[in-house]
Amino acid sequence: MAAKLDTEARSGVPIVIRNVSKVFGEDGDKPFRALKRVDVEIPAGQFISVVGASGCGKSTLMLMVAGLLARTTGEIMVDGKTVTRPITDVGIAFQDHLLLDFRTAFENVMLHADIRRIDREALARRAKDLFAQLRLTHAMDKYPRQLSGGMRQRVSLIRTLVHEPSVILMDEPFGALDALTRLQVRMDLEALWLRKRPTVVFITHSVEEAVGLSDRILVMSPSPGEVIDDIKVELQRPRPIVLGDAPEFAGYVDRIHRQFERMGVLHGQPLAQPAAA
9-13, 106-110, 179-183, 200-204: least confident range: 9-13
Q: Is the pLDDT of residue 8 over 50?
A: no
Q: 133 in a domain, yes or no?
A: yes
Whole-prediction pTM: 0.87
3-state secondary structure of 32: strand
| Per-residue pLDDT tens digits for 119-132 | 889 889 999 999 99
Q: What is the pLDDT at residue 104?
A: 96
Q: Mean of the pLDDT values across residues 17-26?
A: 92
Q: What is the pLDDT at residue 274?
A: 55
Q: 76 in a domain, yes or no?
A: no
Q: Is the pLDDT of residue 38 over 50?
A: yes
Q: Is the pLDDT of residue 1 over 90?
A: no
Q: 273 in a domain, yes or no?
A: no
Q: 179 in a domain, yes or no?
A: no
* Residue 93, beta-bridge partner list: 170
Mean predicted lDDT score pLDDT of the chain: 88
Confidence of residue 264 (pLDDT cuts 50, 70, 90): confident
Q: Is the pLDDT of residue 231 over 50?
A: yes
Radius of gyration from C-alpha coordinates of the chain: 20
Q: Residue 127 and residue 236: Cα distance in Å, rounded?
A: 29
Q: 136 in a domain, yes or no?
A: yes
Q: 128 in a domain, yes or no?
A: yes
Q: 144 in a domain, yes or no?
A: yes
Range of the domain at 129: 90-164
- Of 54, 29, 68, nearest to 223 by C-alpha is 54
Q: What is the pLDDT at residue 270?
A: 52
| Count of domains forming the chain | 1
Element holding 226 (H helix, E strand): strand 225-232
Q: Mean of the pLDDT values across residues 188-199?
A: 92
Q: 44 in a domain, yes or no?
A: no
Cis ω before 31 (30° cut-off from 0) = no
> How many residues are given for the chain?
277
